[in-house]
Structure 1
């Protein structure tokens, strides 16, 4: 009986994972608006009723997708934060640039503008990640100054994670004036790259815009 229950649980988890894979593929290929019970079912080669068995509502699909995406991000971040403490600002900068240019992140943020439950989930996930980043950064930022002002760990972190998001927002509408200048200046401020730049969750370079 126990073996059968474990097998059933594993199969259930696998099916749910396949459906969420299809959700992500639809969002990447056609945008979040393309995600419907019927579209997910067609992508997975199953019936719409099976999709609704795992996810009762469309919001439920998106919330599950965001939670899984957040879990992946946190694992990726935790690995990156194993770097030496004095290199953490640089590591967080590379991570933030990768995250800001993720196509899925862009789709989830756009979706959050239209669905309150999704917006709340994104906010909660962001706070989780921000706390992890700040806890790692806080012991190692003594002496960091910016524009002749000494930065608190929180202020430094907000610069590190905020600049890539701002640049990506502008690039999304085709504005790139002075972006390279700001990136070059901030990278010079952070100092030379010491550790090898980690690959993103998709396996592409963090600086890729493709």
Structure 2
């Protein structure tokens, strides 16, 4: 299929398809991402998916790349946040964090997406760990109890588990757990 005509990368319909792909992933999970579901969500013929993307994998990777670029830009803003650890938590535990969980699940089956997730993760981790190294040393210079790498892992892991268990209604008292997490973040910010 090399040499086939492809739609322009800056076309409004291409952006509609990316938006639709993101909504389908967020709402229905990665198994629901098909040309039919994305086309229907975008309000266009499903054949247009293959006019703008060579295959569904390319669509998913492009959707991830767009989302990860936005997230990286927001992470870069953490360096100037009043409370970067809490801001990192809010960013990680936001509903859009659900998308990252779905992308990670898809990456286990999609080598191209796996490479893109690894590239993004490396860049995001660098931003977060640098920010945390500066913040933690300023906040508690006498204590190196939690390294930037561990703090980043802790906050991101708590966020992913909180999102999943909340959605699955596995938490008896999500408000109480969220308050406990906030208390832990307060300790980290001292």
Scaled to the shorter chain, the TM-score interval is 0.7 to 0.9
Contact map agreement 2:89 2:155 (CA 8 A) in 1:
yes
Among 49, 66, 69, the alignment partner of 2:67 is 69
Q: Report the equivalent of 1:18.
A: 16
TM-score by length of 2: 0.75
* Correspondence for 1:153: 148
Provide the aligned C-alpha RMSD in A: 3.2
Runs of 4+ in 1 over 4 A off after TM superposition: 177-182
Moved more, 54-63 or 173-182: 173-182
Return the alpha-carbon distance in structure 1 between the equivalents of residues 163 and 108 of structure 2: 17
Deviations 1:152-204 (A, max 9, x none): 22222222222222333333443225765554334224339x9xxxxxxxxxx
The partner residue of 1:163 within 139, 158, 168 is: 158
Change (3 A) 1:185 1:72: same
The aligned counterpart of 1:28 is: 26
Count of aligned pairs between the two proteins: 180
Give yes or no for contact 2:93–2:162 (8 Å, CA) kept in 1. no
How many Å separate the matches in 1 of 2:108 and 2:120? 16
Change (3 A) 1:166 1:29: closer
* Structure 1 match to 2:123: 128
Partner SS, residue 81 of structure 2: coil
Contact 1:27 1:35 in 2 (8 A): yes
Q: Could you give the per-residue CA deviations for residues 67-107 of structure 1, whole angstroms, max 9, x where no partner exists? A: 011111122222343214xx2222222222226x6342333
Q: State the match for 1:184 in structure 2.
A: 179
Matched residues in 2 for 1:45 and 1:155: separation? 44
Give the distance between the partners of 2:23 and 2:173, measured in 1 at CA: 33
SS in 1 for 2:94: helix
Secondary structure at the aligned position of 2:80 is classed as coil
Structure 2: unaligned runs, 5 residues or longer = 1-6
